[in-house]
Structure 1
């Protein structure tokens, strides 16, 4: 089967698709990608054909005119994004027999209509399934009825904002306009690739949603010698990293990290990521600043993990059996922060805009001193670490009922 995996977003949106692609290739399927420019080299290096959608996501996140925490700014960006995604996805889809989309893939379903093939929406968090689960917003402690109300009011607003840009792109392809360009994704096949214990499918989810466990990319990479030497040189450090996130006030975050290290009297490994924290954190024998490190190799060797709450990092940290402190920036990260708190794997989250040395140090102290977090993390980690949903994802894509949707 010829399969197009169309993903737009950060690494957390793309890496699970690569894990799925590896499993599909092992089953003899022909897989190609269309992704942001940032990931093309990585994917081609793994032996897959990959088309760039022409967008540098890191550059977008750094643009001063785009506030990723603002709903208005997000919608405006999505409107300008649509034509490029339609063009790139249309080019990459030639010959495809099925299209699987993830992240902010605004074009995938329309291109599947154009080609007359099935479309499957891959999601990595239940908070994008309309219903009793809170949507990807800051307020995660509301009752189920309030969550349903927010969905009922909010989804038509998003549809109205995106209807014009998406229908303009559809018209250029000779496709009829649609009234509900976002809500109609619920009518196609949806795969929730998330650990069933960490992120269970809500009971009122539509019948079109199928849950596998998370799609895990086996990364055999070893730690850099510098990181390994730092780990051996003293007590287990705290890991701090925010992946692809670029916060508005990086100087404040960097000073908060340095201040928390002093207050807690602990060692830290700080992954600079796209935030470029290495430019702001002074060199120290207590703090090692790196660009990135393979989570599978590093996380089991640290005392606690401070991160942004992305789906992939949360799953990796949970599988490592290590307590977590989450500093959510936006969207589904608020969901993961609340889940970690509810499961007893970490304290209440600290939104990134409220980060300060004392507040960060307080949460680090808490997970280091309260053995209940460590015990619960180790207990759950032994179960989560062995679960991988890629085989189930392949079986779903091969199932006849998916292809009857075309």
Structure 2
């Protein structure tokens, strides 16, 4: 607990899409209630969720959807390594760096919690401002042997290669961010420019978000999902559990509030539906995704809720198909299309949940206690698909490009008709909900301990400065 008369200041920096934002908003709420002064900053489209929970927010990044080129979508749709997108809007990049610099200058954080994708930038501002301590706070387990960021699903025997792939992908992500990071000196006053790191490398990721991490880091993921070997490779990780907004708090535009009554009416009109949605995965074409989902549901004969997400799934894309009349009649009687949906309110009232396996959506589906069907597309989604199978709480399928309406329908029917899957899903969901109740205590205790062990005694600054000296000596030897 923050006990001094002046609240200690914590800045939370993040990016991503809705599922990524939730843990940071929940963490901000928990820490504010514990007596800390909290300020959030992230992409502009995350402002509404922060405002809904009365948390101060500063836009310091653009929506990732704006920087999602068609080539990237095409690559991940066909299970190929994507070309890393690089921004070109220099004026906006400078304005974003200026906003973050101003926030560091005026808010004067004593501790920063940062997402993986913002960690390098935060590490630079940390060094500029005399090594302000920061903690990596992610939804995924750190880069290691279990999964890779290259969207390559390796066989189990080749899992050790994940580390090499992660090192390669870190260098590619740094290349993607280079133009943004190169804007930082332009927003600094002359006296601070000399504090810029001499060389920007992937080292902060290794020190804060990897199997080799030397600092404690936070993960908003469940130990129930990760199993008993959680600490085998990740000795510095503190798992907080799923950190999701309470169902009663899932309101507002980001949760489809304008369709909430329509959803309630639909749920009351018949049997529990099957949910299908792919969140922030912008893949294939809206028509392809609409037909895949609608035809899969039609084959099951079940009611369903289909979430449009970034894939743009919509009833209009059925037009012109040979089965248009049959599909349209079925959809009108049995399917609700929603642009966005409140997972916490909807998932527990479904028979099964079909999705891409993003960390946030997986937390919500497993927490609901209903069978989960994951159709992975990239990154940690492959690992999540594997874990669903290992736990016996649903079906983890192969990449989306391998799926047809028949394979998806078969997975849905198997989950719904299997007593063992349904029972196990409820057991795991119940365990996750119990774990979730401990999250506020675990987070506040972690922050209290981190201030004591790394901030107040200067340990963070000492470790960082020693590490820079070692790197400088190694460079001199080269």
TM-score where L is the length of structure 2: 0.76
2:87 paired with 1:73: no
Moved more, 250-259 or 132-141: 132-141
Residue 124 (structure 2) pairs with residue 124 (structure 1) = no
Give the structure 1 partner of residue 447 of structure 2.
397
**Equivalence for 1:198:** 225
> Which SS does the other structure have where 2:156 is aligned?
coil
Q: Quick one: distance in 1 between partners of 2:409 and 2:95?
A: 43
- Cα contact 2:13–2:42 (8 A) shared by 1: yes
Report the more deviating stretch, 50-59 or 370-379.
50-59
1:148 pairs with one of 157, 160, 184 = 160
Equivalent residues in 2 for 1:1-12, closer than 5 Å: 1-12=8-19
Count of aligned positions: 401
Residue 149 (structure 1) shift: 3.3
Q: CA deviation at 1:392?
A: 1.1
Which of 241, 248, 263 lines up with 1:213 in the alignment? 241
Give the direction of change, closer, same or farther, for the CA distance of 1:152–1:329 in structure 2 (3 Å limit): closer
Q: Closer, same or farther in 2 for the Cα pair 1:224/1:333, shift >3 Å? A: same
Q: Deviations over 1:347-400 (max 9, x none)?
A: 231422223211211211211222221111012111112222233122212211
The aligned residue for residue 112 of structure 2 is 99
**Residue 133 in structure 1 maps to residue 188 in structure 2:** no
TM-score (norm: length of structure 1): 0.89
Specify the alignment match of 2:202 in structure 1.
180
CA shift for structure 1 position 35: 0.7
- Structure 2 residue runs without a partner (length 5+): 1-7, 187-192, 252-258, 319-327, 462-478
Q: Are residues 375 and 60 of structure 1, via their aligned partners in 2, closer, same or farther at CA, if it must alter by over 3 Å? A: same
> What's the secondary structure of 2:341's corresponding residue?
coil
Post-superposition CA distance 1:26-58 (Å, at most 9, x none): 011111111111111221232122111241223
Is 1:246 the counterpart of 2:282 in the alignment? yes
Contact 1:253 1:356 in 2 (8 A): no
Counterpart Cα distance in 2 of 1:79 and 1:336 = 35
| CA-CA distance at 1:140 after TM superposition | 5.2
Aligned counterparts, 1:3-402, within 5 A:
3-61=10-68, 63-67=69-73, 69=76, 71-74=81-84, 76=86, 86-94=97-105, 95-105=108-118, 106-115=120-129, 116-126=131-141, 128-130=142-144, 132-136=145-149, 137-139=151-153, 141-143=155-157, 146-152=158-164, 154-155=166-167, 158-159=170-171, 162=174, 168=182, 173-174=193-194, 175-176=196-197, 177-181=199-203, 182-185=205-208, 186-200=213-227, 202-220=230-248, 221=250, 224-278=260-314, 279-280=316-317, 282=328, 284-388=332-436, 389-399=439-449, 400-402=452-454
Q: Is the 8 A contact 2:219 2:240 kept in 1?
A: yes
Q: Take 1:376 and 1:265, find their aligned partners in 2: how far apart are those partners?
A: 25
Check the 8 A contact 1:89/1:108 in 2, yes or no: no
3-state SS of 1:108 partner: helix
Residue 9 and residue 288 in structure 1: after superposition, are their counterparts in 2 closer, same or farther (change >3 A)? same
Deviates further, 205-214 or 51-60: 205-214
Q: Conserved in 1, the CA contact under 8 Å of 2:41 and 2:57?
A: yes
**Distance (Å, rounded) in 1 between the aligned partners of 2:169 and 2:246:** 40
Flag the structure with higher helix content.
2
Q: What is the CA-CA distance between 1:100 and the residue it aligns to?
A: 0.7
**Does structure 1 conserve the Cα–Cα contact (< 8 Å) formed by 2:274 and 2:354?**
yes
> Whose Rg is larger?
2
Q: Distance in 2 between matches of 1:206 and 1:380?
A: 22
